A and B are shown apart, each in its own frame.
Chain A
């Protein structure tokens, strides 16, 4: 095999010569230590390599070994519950072989070659198959059935299919292709990370991804197969939201990519997810999660690759027909990794030093999301939703990563540090956030939740908008300048903010709210508002309304357990009767109640 020779080392970028015939994005092994690298530029005799590991101690003259393979991931049973670094090396196994620190040249197979899986065939000899057809299944975790598919590019007739316990590299079926040659099907497939996995066609999303987070589901929903971004300055709670989504969203598979973030946060995920119980299956949440962890101090080039590794694994499960959600925290670190590599390549920089191709890379990444008809004869449908967080420097949303992301994604959850300082979490700003899926999803909400759901949302948004305007006036001339009706708007807006939008991720009950309960909760607040609107024309004051005992019940309503959802009926009745009683009582008595409180 031909080997090349290093002629230059500058940080993670290595230039070598003598690798004629190498292709762009081929993986190479650098020096005798076999550091993993990828070819990112070809210029005549010279190839430029980005190395996924620390390059200190490497120098000119050392060898470079080609593998003639682009950067790929291994796909097959065993992915679920795994934790990988940015180039799919299993961190748990590396720890057991290398110790607590990640030293260089560590190598380990992404999928265990020893473990045997029970393969259950679904097809029989003589069946004709095309790429994407499911030939059999493996129970991968207690909740996930792994489907073994005919790899891309193969079609023909099954001449042999086996049943029993196999390792991922054993042949489970043999297919006679059109040209008469035989293809052995193994449970392990490889796929290059920079190329999207194929599907039949893309469809428009129609269902929301339910996350249990009120501000998201009710106000700014994301569709299954949709894209969303969470930009916000540090300390505004991006990561908590990502974790909440990973824990509670109703996707069947979660791929969580910790890209250039804090080590301790990944540890939190690693320690917490196995403990958490999935609300949908009752099993540990980890049974449907794949983790990619490339923390900020791990090599920068592997960080660049980590989002691709993550999305390729996500696409693979999508191809089985699952609803998959990918969380990437944070895509800014990914973009910065691109910038760093680009800088080392001495490319002409675009905005703020980012490479000129930043926008293309970001949009082609998010475009890998979607609701699709998968390959195969059964026309199964599946979705891949992508939620990326963005960490804009200084919280300034005009910076290139945020702007390029916003051009692509359909949902924007705008985080405000001001809200975070007031300890309003999730700190999603209701005035600047948006979701472009509202109209696509309205049919779903009307059918599955209630006809008036959309109306409640519009009404609430209107009140919140109104509040922002009124607050300006209050700031200028004081609260006394407002009419009773305007004060009622302020009160209701406060109720929406504090009793509905504010949600405590660390409270046992409050951390997750079903869409039904969200609807009931919002309805209480708007019902109170509507009833109050009627009685204030008859001279009832805001103080009287505030002193109603049912007010406290609305405040506590978010802590009502999902199983006791009928309690809302009672509160609704109380709202109506208590407000109506105000108009029948003699003025003055309301104030008495206030004093008694």
Chain B
């Protein structure tokens, strides 16, 4: 039963007000036909007895109040899915843009999904090796985790995300896996980087891409990640694949949300973002995870650029409260020419403890991790002190820490864009670094591990280039 109305009374920003409606449902899908014959899609945001507020995904440019028709389709937004979606590229509303055919639907899924019953969740504890030392060893990613990358304008988060997508493996297992990529308001160059990188490495065969570019309608960004996550749920929990979802850039998503909220004249929360930003983000992020008895999983890596690199801005702040940790990129490291510029101290993976240790990575992992963290923190502190007082004011031990911190950035954090280090390699590299420090400073490592793993030869006497290669 499709109802068509010519009674649009108001157009405000991305919103349309349709009058004299009957039997319209909340969140119902709306098709808008402009006088030119062009059709756009929208969704009901609020409905009263005889009036509906509709948000138009493709923007309201060219819409007039006289000739435009609104058709209420009697269903909520759905996406057709089947295994054919793999290898395809769609626009931000889910229409193919790779010149391929329409998807023959195996089924149609509501893009809003439903919350996973906490009782049905399985705990993420499979270690994912990304081949990046500062993630694998210090901020371990596990299957089913949601771990965002907090970046800033001009930092190489795209490179890092595609490196993770390319290299991520679960040790000792050959399993079906897929990448779902959702771009929201990014530039053509950045989107092109991902597409061509995926093509170069053949990853495109097992990817699904949704692309909303910076010049595409802003409001469309609100549905793009939902389409992507619905596909991911289908692949993970119906087809038992391990899915890595990359959402970039969440900042643009939140801005679209703010735009709609402002147009609705809602009471704004911090910095003009709507009060329900937390809930809204949670309904996206929490779709990641594992389910008991299902083979697949969804691992989620949202990328967001922090305005002015400010971690307390509402977007990174609320994201950090929902996700299980964060990888923070630092401009300071980037300027030093270090790639990936991961600032390990404020970065965190909350689920690492369940994914590491004997039988998963190596028995000494937790100890080495804690020691590296503590030593690097102390080294950084000593460096700050040296800036104020001069190097001469440092004690001998502190000087060693300074050296440790420098080397840590230089050879541990820094690695090539195609360099895929195994966890063993990363751990051994960590141990080599620790030879810089006096052995009795290694308080966070059990003696038995020191005996077993600490190299006899110290790093200083080694040829550093050998380590690098």
Contact = CB atoms under 8 A, between A and B. Distances in A.
Given A54-B114, A480-B393, 6 more contacts: A101-B113, A262-B286, A296-B282, A297-B283, A297-B287, A353-B268
B27 A57 contact: yes
Nearest to B113: A101
B216 interface: no
A268 B354 CA distance: 10
B377 A421 contact: yes
Contacts of A260: 278-279, 282
Nearest to A480: B393
B121 interface: yes
B301 interface: no
21 contacts: A8-B46, A8-B48, A10-B47, A54-B112, A92-B119, A100-B116, A233-B320, A234-B320, A235-B320, A264-B289, A264-B324, A266-B121, A296-B278, A297-B283, A297-B286, A336-B279, A337-B279, A353-B267, A353-B269, A423-B377, A475-B385
Interface residues of A, number: 76
A506 interface: yes
A57 B385 CA distance: 62
Contact of B289 (A59, A92, A263, A555): A263
Contacts of B122: 267
B177 interface: no
Q: What range describes how many residues of B lie at the interface?
A: 35 or more
A271 B269 CA distance: 36
B345 interface: yes
A296 B313 CA distance: 20
Interface string B100-126: 000000000000111111111111100
B355 to A, nearest CB: 12
Given A297-B115, A340-B279, A8 B270 contact: no
B312 interface: yes
Given A58-B26, A61-B23, A102 B114 contact: yes
B321 A391 contact: yes
A300 interface: yes
Given A91-B119, A100-B116, A235-B325, A264 B28 contact: no
Interface of A: 7-11, 15, 54-61, 83, 91-92, 94-95, 98-104, 233-235, 258, 260, 262-264, 266-268, 270-271, 293, 295-300, 333, 336-337, 339-340, 343, 346, 349, 352-353, 391, 393-396, 417, 420-423, 475-480, 498, 506, 555, 597
Given A56-B26, A343-B266, A353-B268, A263 B286 contact: yes
Contacts of B323: 262
A393 B270 contact: yes
Contacts of B385: 475
Contact of A353 (B45, B120, B275): B275
A478 B114 contact: no
A54 B118 CA distance: 17
Contacts of B373: 421-423
A100 B292 CA distance: 8
Contact of A475 (B123, B314, B326, B388): B388
Contacts, number: 213
B172 interface: no
Contacts of B370: 423
Given A263-B116, A352-B270, A555 B443 contact: yes
A268 to B, nearest CB: 6
Contacts of A423: 370, 373-374, 377
Nearest to B371: A423
Nearest to A298: B115
Nearest to A269: B118
Given A271-B123, A297-B282, A343-B266, A59 B317 contact: no
B291 interface: yes
B404 to A, nearest CB: 15
Nearest to A58: B26
B179 interface: no
A477 B390 CA distance: 11
Contacts of A476: 388
B45 to A, nearest CB: 8
A391 B48 CA distance: 36
The 3 closest A-B pairs by CB, nearest first: A394-B312, A296-B282, A56-B27
Between A7, A59, A423, A555, the greatest number of chain B beta carbons within 10 A of the residue's beta carbon is seen for: A59
B278 A336 contact: yes
Main secondary structure of the interface of B (DSSP, over half): mixed
Contact of B317 (A98, A234, A337): A234
Given A262-B322, A297-B286, A421-B377, A101 B278 contact: no
Interface in B272-294: 274-276, 278-279, 282-283, 285-287, 289, 291-292, 294
Contacts of A100: 116-117, 120, 237, 291-292, 294
A258 to B, nearest CB: 8
B46 A300 contact: no
Between B25, B275, B283, the greatest number of chain A beta carbons within 10 A of the residue's beta carbon is seen for: B275
B346 interface: yes
Given A235-B348, A352-B269, A393-B314, A95 B117 contact: yes
Contacts of B313: 394
A102 B118 CA distance: 9
B286 A300 contact: no
Given A59-B47, A102-B117, A264-B289, A9 B389 contact: no
A353 B269 CA distance: 6
A59 B44 CA distance: 10
A59 B324 CA distance: 37
A586 to B, nearest CB: 25
A7 B114 contact: no
Between B26, B114, B324, B370, the greatest number of chain A beta carbons within 10 A of the residue's beta carbon is seen for: B26
Given A101-B113, A263-B118, A295-B118, A55 B26 contact: yes
Nearest to B344: A421
Interface string B313-334: 1100110111111100000000
Nearest to A59: B25
Given A234-B317, A297-B282, A297-B286, A7 B443 contact: no
B346 A417 contact: yes
A564 to B, nearest CB: 19
Interface string B137-175: 000000011000000000000000000000000000000
Between A57, A264, A293, A555, the greatest number of chain B beta carbons within 10 A of the residue's beta carbon is seen for: A264
Contacts of B443: 498, 555
Nearest to A271: B123
Given A60-B48, A235-B325, A300 B318 contact: no
A91 B117 contact: yes
Contacts of A394: 311-313, 317
Contacts of A478: 389, 393
A346 B46 CA distance: 14
B77 to A, nearest CB: 9
A61 B113 CA distance: 25
A479 B395 CA distance: 9
A376 B364 CA distance: 57
B118 A91 contact: yes
A267 B118 contact: yes
B240 to A, nearest CB: 13
A391 to B, nearest CB: 5
B418 interface: no
Interface string B342-357: 0001101011011000
Nearest to A349: B267
Contact of A59 (B26, B45, B117): B26
Contact of A340 (B275, B321, B324, B354): B275
B270 A343 contact: no
Contact of A296 (B121, B291, B322, B345): B322
Contact of A56 (B25, B282, B325, B348): B25
B49 interface: yes
A295 B286 contact: yes
Given A271-B123, A297-B282, A417-B346, A94 B117 contact: yes
